[in-house]
Amino acid sequence: MSLQRRRGQIVKVWPTELVTDSRGNEQHIVDMTSEPYRVRAIMIPQRSARAEVPGQAQINVTRMLVDADLPNVNLWSRVEWRGILWDVVTPPAYHHGTRHTRHWSIDIRERPDG
């Protein structure tokens, strides 16, 4: 584990589960009833736009770097960081390296109701 991820911030990551809806379609949904993974992560701000007037959307996207050993984490997962819920907006990108440097980078976006 790199030095930055060892000293990173604690985040909660909820995995997804595969469920079948009433029509027989399989769907991935976030499993908020399960115990979330508690991991240390590096947070790198990517882009943001503040809503200046009512009706505008606020955008806050951050890249999260975590160890590459989280099962069932994908686009439908959810993250809690600093008491705010975030959606995963890009699939986890695997970056291969030595045991100490391999990691996932995941872009997350603050939920509007967060």
- Say if strands 37-49 and 93-95 run parallel, antiparallel, or are unpaired: unpaired
Do the beta carbons of residue 5 and residue 70 sit within 8 Å? no
Domain boundaries, the chain: 3-110
Q: Which two tokens stand for residue 47?
A: 């882009």
Q: What pTM value is reported for the model?
A: 0.77
Do the beta carbons of residue 66 and residue 95 sit within 8 Å? no
* Sole residue written with tokens 């790198």: 44
Q: Kindly list the distances between the CA atom of residue 14 and the CA atoms of 34, 52, 58, 89, in Å, as whole numbers in the listed order.
A: 7, 32, 23, 14
Residues 3-57 pLDDT 10s: 455 678 899 999 999 999 899 999 988 888 889 999 999 988 887 666 555 655 6
For domain 3-110, give the CATH superfamily: Bacteriophage SPP1 head-tail adaptor protein (2.40.10.270)
